[in-house]
Structure 1
Amino acid sequence: MGRTYLESDPATFPQPVEAPEGAPNIVLILLDDAGFGQFGTFGGGVPSPTMDRLRDEGLHFNRFHTTALCSPTRAALITGRNHHSASFAGITEIATGYDGYCCILPKSTGTVGEVLRQNGYMTAWIGKNHNTPTWETSSVGPFDRWANGLGFDYFYGFNAGDMNHWNPLLFENRDLVPGSQDPDYHLTEDLADKAIDWLRRSATIAPDKPYFLYVAPGATHAPHQVPKEWIDRFEGEFDDGWDAYRERTLARQKELGVVPQDTQLTERSAGLPAWDELNDEQRRLYSRMMEVFAAFGAHADHHMGRIIDAVKSLPNADNTLIIYIAGDNGSSAEGGLEGSLCENMFFNGFPESWEDNILAIDELGGPKHFNHFPASWAHAMNTPFQWTKQVASHFGGTRNPMLISWPDRITDAGALRDQFLHVIDIVPTIYEVCGITPPTELNGVQQKPIEGISFADALLSGDAKGKRSTQYFELACNRGLYHDGWMASAPSFVPWNPNRQEWDPDKAVWELYDITKDFSQANDLAAEHPEKLRQLQDMWWVEASKYNALPLDWRGTIRMNAEEMGRPNLNAGRTSVTYYPGTIALPDAACLPMLNKSWIITADIEVPDGAADGMIVTHGGLEGGYGLYLRDGKPTFVYNFLSVERPTVVASEPLAPGRTTLVVEFEYDGGGMGKGATVTLSAGGAQLAQARLDRTVPIQFALGEGLDIGMDTGSPIDFTYQMPFAYTGTIHSVRIDLETEAPVTA
């Protein structure tokens, strides 16, 4: 540096970090709630041409494992640490304050997105984010655990466990996306479009930078919603039922070579009915539910194929590592034994009946229902294994198909790999193939060691040996331990019954399998090898202690109730909140807890001359909640009891133009959860109407929707209006008061 630029060396700018030379592009696709025997590539009955293509040009893996539930698998997938180490022993909606269970991703478990971003990659996350604490998903954040804060330059998707595919609640980065007015809109197609747009834009603007694209479409998690023309393709395909499906699938799996020829079909898991035990009407309903599910899966694979097509059309396509994982856990039994029209019924502890559900058979897959097939179909999707999603003790809950393509480096295209792998092994594999050393410190925070083991050598050589000798499993007290070819398994709770009883871990029955000879866990050897079983049981407790899996917690649906569990809430300690226009998509975890108590809504509004219509306040959507709106000037209050009942209180006359106070008094009966209530609607101090509710929502209003003022985002509370149903007058404020010891009055 001289006194002037004339006397100085030429100026240089700080240069951005460049990725290691030759580092590949990476595309990571993760489907939802999909079983080992679901898709055709692994012998199932759902066509999957995109997976077929990746198998034929790359590798397929038949001993890849997840955690048995979505948020835990996703936390492990993006950090390379076990799910309890990453504080995700369950989904965010059942978080408790214990270290391994709080669902607050520690800064010491930096994500693959952040590490790649700091090593010269462009990063994007499209679709489901179920790794942000529910109480941090409001418009005031904090945002450091949203996708952008976890190392992803671009995010387009939803912050919830599942989403209505016809009327989703979406964010682009941190901004709420307006609802689509396209009558043919579907979420999976939209997500594929956004992924393709990002790929093309990135390749155009920065062609020399590699990219990391993470796509998590949310399919095939409930609700099973898909265009009818896709459903029609599967008419009659599953009329012979789930038992015949399992037999056919295992035969196809052996023919394809994705299971050993001596693999046995496991017995139907205890408590699930045989197809032959059903009556004709049950079989008709359940066949249709499976047709909808198959269409949903085929539709998802098709749109993932569109993303792959876009990747293949870009420069440097052959140096793109594509990882396609068919499921974050096994197929889901959360539809209960008789199937479901509203999955939120399950999470509130209510069973459904086929007699009620068959009345909607022609509407399944459409916008009116949050439907889910019966548990026995989920079990069949996991052929040849026992059990389903949530059961971490057995491969029906944890073993998922994985396809990997990398044309530049994989030389034995079409080959099968059978190393025992776990989802935590993905991150270290990515780091190794990219030439990146995992940081010991990230953004000033000392990092936990990566707990996964790279299998990069298995991508390049068919002779590579498996490196994982031990892996523990735990989810909702269903426990397992793999060690040197043996698997100890202790199932504890059936996943199709959300109402759990007391349980003693010391009395749980353990099973033992030699999976070097018994691929499907068909032969329990616990009686023959008690010493080996005892060894693995003791090892499980050691691993559980090491990775924060303790204390075991067997509480069921009650953990969905945030107030009961004491989860953080921005409204903690408050009994009154005043909301103003512009408050929309406020997540449930940032709202006053209104369940199982009395409350009053007081809306200060102006009624316009002429047509007065629109939503004043709503909380929830299709799956449950309430709404207060004007229809042709008449005040209307709707209480949606989990989409089963929608009691409505309507004024007989429209309101006069001008400013008024509209009040809803909700007088709860008390005496426990989910009891009845009396609803009184008034305006300007005069009572307009009153109604009786025989039962109310006990655990949670909705799965992924919250509170709106002045319009309705997400899905409608009933089907009498068109979204977004914006109020045509003026709303000054909406106050909600909870009952205190001295009841609040308007």
Structure 2
Amino acid sequence: MSRKPEPLSRREAIVAGIASSAAVGVGLSPASAEARAEGDAFKGRIAPVMSASTPDIRHDPVPAPGSPNILLIILDDVGFADLGCYGSEIPTPHIDRLAASGLRYTNFRTTGVCSATRASVMTGLNPHSAGIGWLTFADSGYPGYRGDLAAEATTMAEHFSDAGYCAYHVGKWHVNLADTANAAGPTRNWPSQRGYARSYWFQGHSTDYFAPAQLYAGNERVTPPVEGYYATDDFTEKTLAFLRDHRAQRGDRPFLLTLAHPGAHSPLQAPREDIARFKGAYDAGWDVLRAARLERQKAMGLVPADTGLPPANPGVPRWESLDPAERRVQARYMEVYAAMIARIDEGVGRILDALDASGDRDNTIVALMSDNGGSPDGRGGTPNLLAMVNGGYKPAEVAERLDAIGGPDSYPMYSLGWASVSNTPFRLYKHDTHLGGVADPLILSWPGKVAARGETRGQFLHAIDLLPTLLDAAALPARSARPGAKPIEGRSARASFADRAAPDPRDRQYFEMGGLRAMRLGSWRIVSKGRFGLPGDAWELYDGDADPNETRDLAAERPDIVKRLDRAWTVEARKHQVFPIDDRSLLERSFAELFRGGGKDHWSIIPPIDLIPEESSPKLLGRDFEIDMALGDAGRQGVLFAHGNQFLGAVAFVRDGRVWFELRCDPHLIALDAPWPADVRRVRFVQRLSARPRAGRLSILIDGREVAALDSGRLLLGIPMQGLQIGRNDAVRASPRYAGPFAFDGRIDRVEIRTDNRPYDKAEIAAASRAYAAPARKDS
């Protein structure tokens, strides 16, 4: 009687499988489909034992010997004239040293806003081709306006890391869709997923410099220390740390490091001692400073000697027309702005010194640029930029806050007058397609390979040309091997490194930003007077060779050229996904998610949880909402929820035997309070709007009973710049009535948040727009 074979143990089965695979490798038995697939990838030879086999050791790509390091420094909202080496009175000795070791470009152009420029710099694609024709607030539903970097766009980091470089990113990112800015992702367009081995960065368009809430190391949010923290210094330190780690661990490889400073984007914040350095420096006013910058630019050869200033931009008063108190306030804004740039410069100096000390400086290409012109967002200047859609300030309220402007309890922005100085000698600002919006500094230094020292270059370059130029300098192909990748649309300007007479890398470039348009063809440039499709829009025409800052409109004299450039613009726009042009107002675009409605309307939270970033948190202001909290222990004090911060937000907290519910947008405060029972088990905070966006009723309900209520026609609108926190308030506090984090000492078992996500109708959008367009309040 034959015995049944014993079943193999799991280990014996694995060993048998390995032996079988090995036998296949030496031809002892037919190969299975699975083994054949493995054999296709494996380049060695497998025998039953390793001593008789041939290994296939995998090797990462290795750049050619002598390949340069790349350090790209991107400044934010810094105008053409804001650096010392571009005519500024702001001391930037280290950036000036960088310029003295290389080249300054005088015809470098960007897109007019930060996200679009960054998308172009990162990919070598026009912004609409890269999916970011404007900012990243929302997907507009069209290919050129996804607000999210296109999957087919290969990033700078992917190009260089595929070639064996080590890639690192520090600072601002802002090329991922706002709604993906949360712990659950999707993270497809975060730095770690787009080619960077290490990253230390922040989400969104701006950050608080003293207490950032959305700072990430790789894919994990981190909380920086509160005492003595300043973002510019932190990003400098992290850059230095990445460089040290790279040299110690991968010093045999070149690096790509992108350092994207938040400065000098709003909020204008700087250490007190730095602001003090500039006290009195701007008392002469913007008219004098603008003229002085132009004279220095002429002396430096940045503009022709016969260049004149264009007339003052609309809405900019003459400095002498301001009263002394207003002049002092306006000077303070610029003192803070100058302090921010000076602090960036100090950090640049430390990084250059580190490269010198390590011996890497000669073979490191350092490029420094800004993403767009000086910003008009502050209009007449404000201690709190987020208050502008909620009524602004009376002059007396600004005067009371003078010494605080630029510190951690302010969210300020300078005025149109100072933005005009930033953009000397050009017209208009960020967001515009006139040169004030798109003409920016670009410095490039490569001491070991570029002999020029302190020279200027007049070649026309666009942001899309930077990546192919760097790839060319590194002897890498300006194409991606990734399947389905879009071809780079920029062209290399490397020839200009050695030859000041080298031809422009391109003879044409289109511009479009929020319905504003421009087209350059040769030396000619047309630019739109207004937004596409609106009454009064027409083309202006300028000869860039004879009139570099666009002061003489030749459209009436040369309609033939206007027509030719108009046709060229249409061709380029169709080619690069510009249509359909976004004809919504700035407010409608900025608040698209709020006005569009739909989406998530219910959050169920079991604390403790991390901060929910602003872009992914509930949209409370301007909507009906209810925050329902079940308590296991009533506690005696602490924050129940904080949405945003004191510059714009909503908060509920317990203190001194009372519960407070506040909507705050400094200087505005809407608050109600009630006694806090020791045995409370359920508390609800409710906003019901009778007329969106502002009129309605706030109420507090404890264990089902309304204990406090308030009716107001001045409720708040906006998207707070700090997310939602439950049970504590890290980063910037949402109310000055407590010191953060003011953690709740009871127990919150569950939080249910419901919002009314009905779309805004046209009348409601118009009401919101009227409030935004209204001038600042006057003293009564």
How far the C-alpha of 1:156 sits from its partner, in A, is 0.9
Aligned to 1:500: none
* Structure 1 portions without partners, runs of 5+: 494-502, 742-746
Task: Compute the displacement of 1:507 (Å).
Answer: 4.2
Whether 2:111 is the aligned partner of 1:111: answer no
In the superposition, the TM-score normalised over structure 2's length comes to 0.88
Superposition RMSD on alpha carbons, in Å?
2.0
Query: Residue 422 in 1 paired to residue 462 in 2?
Result: yes
1:181 to 226, 244, 248: 226
Deviations 1:650-679 (A, max 9, x none): 223x431x5611111222222x32x22222
Match of 1:651, SS state, is strand
SS at match of 1:725: coil
**Paired residue type of 2:576:** Y
Residue 189 of structure 1 aligns with an amino acid whose one-letter code is: D
The structural deviation recorded for 1:351 is: 5.3
Identity level (%): 30
Q: How does 1:120-139 map to 2 (within 5 A)?
A: 120-139=164-183
Q: Does 1:328 align with 2:354?
A: no
- The equivalent residue for 2:448 is 408
Q: Who is 2:350 aligned against?
A: 306
Task: Return the alpha-carbon distance in structure 2 between the equivalents of residues 378 and 682 of structure 1.
Answer: 47
Structure 2 residue corresponding to 1:525, chosen from 543, 554, 558: 554
Q: Which residue of 2 aligns with 1:459?
A: 497
Residue 431 (structure 1) aligned to one of 435, 450, 471:
471
> Could you say which residue in structure 2 is the equivalent of 1:666?
687
Q: Which moved more, 1:301-310 or 1:126-135?
A: 301-310
- The match for 2:271 among 215, 224, 227 is 227
> Number of paired residues?
711
Match of 2:24 in 1: none
Give the drift of 1:291: 1.1
Quote how far apart the aligned CAs of 1:88 are.
Answer: 1.0
CA distance 1:669–1:42, shift in 2 (3 Å): same
Match of 2:20 in 1: none
User: For residues 275-301 of structure 1, what are the alpha-carbon distances to aligned partners after superposition, in whole Å with 9 as ceiling and x for unaligned?
Assistant: 122222221111111111111111122
Q: What's the offset of the Cα at 1:420?
A: 0.5
Pairwise mapping of residues 583-732 of structure 1 onto structure 2 (< 5 A)?
Answer: 583-607=609-633, 612-640=636-664, 642-652=665-675, 654-656=676-678, 660-670=681-691, 672-673=692-693, 675-698=694-717, 700-703=718-721, 705-732=722-749
Query: Is contact 1:339-1:352 (8 Å) kept?
Result: no
Q: Say if 1:295 and 1:574 are closer, same or farther in 2 by CA, change over 3 A.
A: closer
User: Hey, what's the Cα distance between the residues in 1 that align with 2:278 and 2:724?
Assistant: 38
Partner residue of 1:237 out of 281, 286, 298: 281
Show structure 2 runs of 5+ residues with no match. Answer: 1-44, 759-780
Matched, 1:341 2:383: yes
Supply the distance in 2 between the matched residues of 1:440 and 1:233 (Cα, whole angstroms).
48
Which amino acid in 2 is paired with 1:368?
A: D
- Considering Cα pairs closer than 8 Å and 6+ residues apart, tell me whether 1 or 2 has the greater RCO: 1
Query: Is 1:515 paired with 2:544?
Result: yes
Match of 2:193 in 1: 149
Specify the SS of the correspondent of 2:707.
strand
Query: 1: CA distance between counterparts of 2:266 and 2:286?
Result: 19
Distance verdict in 2 for CA 1:365–1:251, change over 3 Å? same
- Pairing 1:317-396 to 2, within 5 Å after superposition: 317-325=361-369, 327-336=370-379, 338-346=380-388, 348=389, 352-392=393-433, 394-396=434-436
For residues 328-353 of structure 1, give each alpha carbon's deviation from its aligned partner in whole angstroms, at most 9, with x where no partner exists: 100001001x211222234x475555
* Larger CA deviation: 307-316 vs 103-112: 307-316
State the alpha-carbon separation in 2 of the partners of residues 514 and 684 from structure 1.
72
**C-alpha separation in 1, matches of 2:756 and 2:292:** 58
Partner of 2:574: 545
C-alpha distance in structure 2 between counterparts of 1:397 and 1:118, whole Å: 34
**Shift of residue 599, structure 1, vs aligned partner:** 2.3
- CA distance in 1 between partners of 2:144 and 2:390 (Å): 25
Question: Which SS does the other structure have where 1:358 is aligned?
Answer: helix
Alpha-carbon offset, residue 725 of structure 1 = 2.3
Q: CA deviation at 1:739?
A: 5.2
Match among 560, 577, 581 for residue 603 of structure 2: 577
Change (3 A) 1:95 1:382: farther
TM-score when scaled to structure 1?
Answer: 0.92
Task: Please identify, of 508-517 and 28-37, the stretch whose mean Cα deviation from structure 2 is larger.
Answer: 508-517
Q: Cα deviation per residue 1:127-161 (whole Å; 9 max; x = unaligned)?
A: 11111101101110011111111111111121110
Larger CA deviation: 708-717 vs 241-250:
708-717
Q: Aligned partner of 1:707: which letter?
A: L
1:560 aligns with 590
Cα 1:647–1:352 shift into 2, 3 Å: closer
Residue deviations 1:579-631 (CA, integer Å, cap 9, x gap) = 1213332133323333433222111123366xx32222121123311111222
Cα distance in 2 for residues equivalent to 1:467 and 1:706: 44
Distance 1:12 1:193, change over 3 A: same
1:197-276 equivalences under 5 Å are 197-276=241-320
- 1:463 and 1:597, CA in 2 relative to 1: closer, same or farther beyond 3 A? closer
Q: Which moved more, 1:431-440 or 1:469-478?
A: 431-440
State yes or no: 1:5 paired with 2:50: yes
Residues 351 and 511 of structure 1: is their aligned pair in 2 closer, same or farther, counting only changes over 3 Å? farther
CA distance in 2, matches of 1:12, 1:538: 57
The 8 Å contact of residues 430 and 437 in structure 2, kept in 1 or not, is answered as: yes
1:75 paired to 2:134? no
- Counterparts of 2:384 and 2:498, CA distance in 1: 46
Aligned residue in 1 for 2:528:
490
Residue 479 of structure 1 corresponds to 517
Deviations 1:453-502 (A, max 9, x none): 10112123334222210011111122111111011111326xxxxxxxxx
8 Å Cα contact 2:383-2:412 kept in structure 1: yes
Q: Secondary structure at the match of 1:647?
A: strand
Whether the 8 Å contact between 1:238 and 1:290 is mirrored in structure 2 is: yes
Q: Which moved more, 1:375-384 or 1:714-723?
A: 714-723
